[in-house]
Structure 1
């Protein structure tokens, strides 16, 4: 570990280099992924496995062919020796509530994972016979995140049972307030717990102490799905439901959308969940709300991938929670009326356009703030704030700064009564939520509340404490970060002979998904000569490349104001299928570029 002053100097140097880099020229370190499980490569022939895919799987720690099976029968059971702790009492409580038609209120969250989890549990319990269901989503500007005492006061008066989805594991005071009101409380969550668990009637969270469930990266909607299945099982066993009824296949699209949207690691269990949802979407069996959203976004259901869910559909759902009320998103997901769904989808699409406009302005201002602060480079983490910023968009702004400067970043906006809401994004090597816990240990008075994951976290503090937070957080970062953490490293899958680079390979790679966080899409290295280049609207580039042996390739480079001058470049690229006008062509999506020479030396 470098000393704090040395880290500060390294941070300033790294930031200066990234400031000075051309928009299209990558200044990060490139490193080929190691083969974590080389045995899958050795067994590729006996497994009838494509050698290229075998190499990719080996670099993603796939050791056994079973890990490539994504049928529903491979899904880990929610109960048993390796099941979810607390699932049994939670399911029994809710099954009894359904029998007695007690009023159950689902407390959701204002992101896509929370919205899909809310819709899923509401629909599943309805299918099981519940008729007294309600749901509520915290207003991020008035009540903040999760089951707070303020939210408990606003629960429907008739509520008897509260079930949280995608939140609640740190809601100690909120659960106490609900219990004081005489309510039964079930917590379902997937976030990291605090030092003290809430005194709920049941807690279902794979991250809680003592839970043997192996898939700690499960999303909030996945946990809700397991709970719904357990409730159905108990009602079936008691004779309240016919065997095998109701069918829950219609819930798969919600599970897939929420899982991808929350950027959880695509471990084997999560890949099964996503794959089942993608199969349903590709077959044209999406629920009306998702079908309307896909139509609004111009998505062909048959071509849906995990990237479609994460980058096309999820932002439109999230726009409701960022700018308005996530109730809009939940209404869309629950709608059975195609006309209503189409209208709600158009509303969400409009909100997403507004969100992009607000984000563009805020991001430009944030970049200027960093560039205008001469001492900013000596801070290990970036903290930016403007009094006019929108609290619903600060997380995206933090992500933009993190991408550009490769620094853990918090962006803040006012939320009234002298409070600021902060949203943060981290880099590899720093657990962001744990860094905030360290801040609280050092200065308990600074943060009103906080929570989150390794890569993303949120907090609330008083505006007068912002400078104190900057100082304390940077002191924590000086202890948690290493010098190498400040240098971005892009991992790739090595060279790919251009003779193997064709449309068939792109199709095989696409079919081998779903790819995503923790199971990254294939990224190859290559050297090409730029033959043609032209700009596209939105700051994108369309290129024609030559491999030096007469083979030419179409390529696309997104969000890049400039390109290396070339003519030779080194590139990290994703081979993909470009579908347009009923035809399919190979396209290279360029992720990173450097100047290069034909003889193999890097400039």
Structure 2
């Protein structure tokens, strides 16, 4: 039985220096996240970390500058997720802005090539006759593919942000802020952020070479793509990433995004003028990711590269359709995972494993990450979901999701060290990772992973905690403050969206859409009621007359009412 989440209020921090334009509520929220001034809370591009200390840039920019000068064929090899797709688009668009004439995008097909720059993808790329491969958002673990590319006489530049293994691939140059000893102050760049930094440094080199005959290229035009990939990859939004995402959001809100992103915003039904990081995470990124999950991310990259609005609209509609299909596949797989867990729980009262490893031979490898994420949210424990790499294959691809305090990539490394040969390959971050292994090795891996988890997880880690920014006063429960909070981000990983808590009387409730709970709530002692909704909150048990709720304050513009509503994250019954 998973313990109920607890609500804990953040510590109150004071002492910041704020202009009068920042309301007290926002000051309190910023200070609780360690920001003590408007520059720290909403950093601008002028505060962006300089590229100078990012390791490998001198060699990388020399390689690229020479390739541009010699009109060599550069192939940008992306990845089949949103970060990889936007990084590929940034690479292609940026190099063309900087004078490259022969730049071609490429991306592996999940079902055909597997992850990253694999030998099979290199075989296919040979038809393009590349001179230089540039990997974006992958490469640090692609030893075999890079060796194959080098054997063909191609140069290889790896740009990545994933944690490296014990040895590095045989690339000509590697740019990755997470290489051991790399002095770059922020380790949080997404793959698209690393590529953007490479372009910033390359522009400086080309400037020094007097390569620009006219006006210097404006690389800020790429920040819409940088924002999308950074938010989608769930990297922590430290000050540097917030500067990048904030600038990208401003471009998108002003209608200056590339044609593909503007089309995706339209098909998702979002108002570009009010776009937030949450809109990226819940509406834009899933539509791009769906192509890589179920079909071919080449379509997503093409959408990001076209400048034709009509073409962009057509591709966005196709991506929207694929995303709808993805939702159906995902729901079926999640339901099957829940059934499997219920079967475990009903077997002689056996508890759910500390770190469930789920597998179904009929599952789709492109959706297992979403399944792992959904089960992790329900159980609040690390989860790995596996599927065959392709129909009938004995190679399994797994996607892992974790909880705070349990570094999932380090866990896989520990299992690999203790049981060499069980895992074929792995990589990732603290909260998400991927791996592959043979189906025959799954029982051994499951036992080893569970054993490692049992030594690292305790009751505190397994008890989910919802951090609250405290209680909102009656005067703060209004549209003005809801609008302020909406525009005060970007919020995201490491700089979380404000959550509040309070006690409410339940005046009315009903189930909507089969699984959501719609409430009419009133704070004790107040006369006015508040609309509230708890998505996926219906658990077949009527709510009590009074609850303590953790919630977000949101705007409600349904039918132009310009009101507010509470988005409930969790609630506890009160007597």
> Which TM bucket (shorter chain)?
over 0.9
CA shift in 2, pair 1:250/1:376, >3 Å:
farther
Cα distance, 1:538 vs. partner?
5.4
Give the corresponding residue for 2:100. 130
**Contact 1:573 1:590 survives alignment (8 Å):** yes
Deviations 1:439-482 (A, max 9, x none): 11111111111111111111111111111110010111122223
Give the corresponding residue for 2:516. 540
Which residue, 337, 362, 365 being the options, matches 1:388? 362
**Contact 2:18 2:37 survives alignment (8 Å):** no
Q: Does 1:52 align with 2:29?
A: no
Give the corresponding residue for 2:528. 551
Give the corresponding residue for 1:76. 49
> TM (normalized to structure 1)?
0.91
Which residue, 185, 208, 216 being the options, matches 1:237? 208
Which residue, 544, 565, 571 being the options, matches 1:566? 544
CA RMSD of aligned residues (A): 1.7
Which residue, 558, 562, 572 being the options, matches 1:584? 562
Cα distance in 2 for partners of 1:453, 1:382 equals 19
**Contact 1:125 1:228 survives alignment (8 Å):** yes
Cα distance, 1:182 vs. partner?
1.2
Cα distance, 1:376 vs. partner?
5.8
Cα distance, 1:532 vs. partner?
2.2
Give the corresponding residue for 2:40. 67
Give the corresponding residue for 2:376. 402
Give the corresponding residue for 1:600. none
Cα distance in 2 for partners of 1:527, 1:132 equals 62
User: The residue matched to 2:186 in structure 1 has which SS?
Assistant: coil
Give the corresponding residue for 1:434. 410
Cα distance in 2 for partners of 1:76, 1:439 equals 36
Cα distance, 1:380 vs. partner?
1.5
**Contact 1:545 1:552 survives alignment (8 Å):** yes
Give the corresponding residue for 1:10. none
Cα distance in 1 for partners of 2:304, 2:19 equals 44
**Contact 1:564 1:594 survives alignment (8 Å):** no
Give the corresponding residue for 2:351. 377
User: The residue matched to 1:556 in structure 2 has which SS?
Assistant: strand
Give the corresponding residue for 1:110. 80
Deviations 1:72-100 (A, max 9, x none): 11111111xxx211112101110110111
**Contact 1:382 1:410 survives alignment (8 Å):** yes
> TM (normalized to structure 2)?
0.95
Q: Does 1:176 align with 2:147?
A: yes
Give the corresponding residue for 1:477. 453
Cα distance in 2 for partners of 1:515, 1:205 equals 25
**Contact 1:236 1:243 survives alignment (8 Å):** no
Name structure 1 gaps, 5 residues minimum.
1-15, 19-26, 598-603
User: The residue matched to 1:520 in structure 2 has which SS?
Assistant: coil
Alignment of 1:191-590 (within 5 A): 191-242=162-213, 244-373=215-344, 374=347, 377=351, 379-416=353-390, 417-537=393-513, 539-548=515-524, 549-562=526-539, 565-590=543-568
Q: Does 1:33 align with 2:10?
A: yes
Deviations 1:223-257 (A, max 9, x none): 11111122222222212214652222321110000
Q: Does 1:150 align with 2:120?
A: yes
User: The residue matched to 1:141 in structure 2 has which SS?
Assistant: helix
User: The residue matched to 1:223 in structure 2 has which SS?
Assistant: helix
Give the corresponding residue for 1:4. none
Give the corresponding residue for 1:601. none
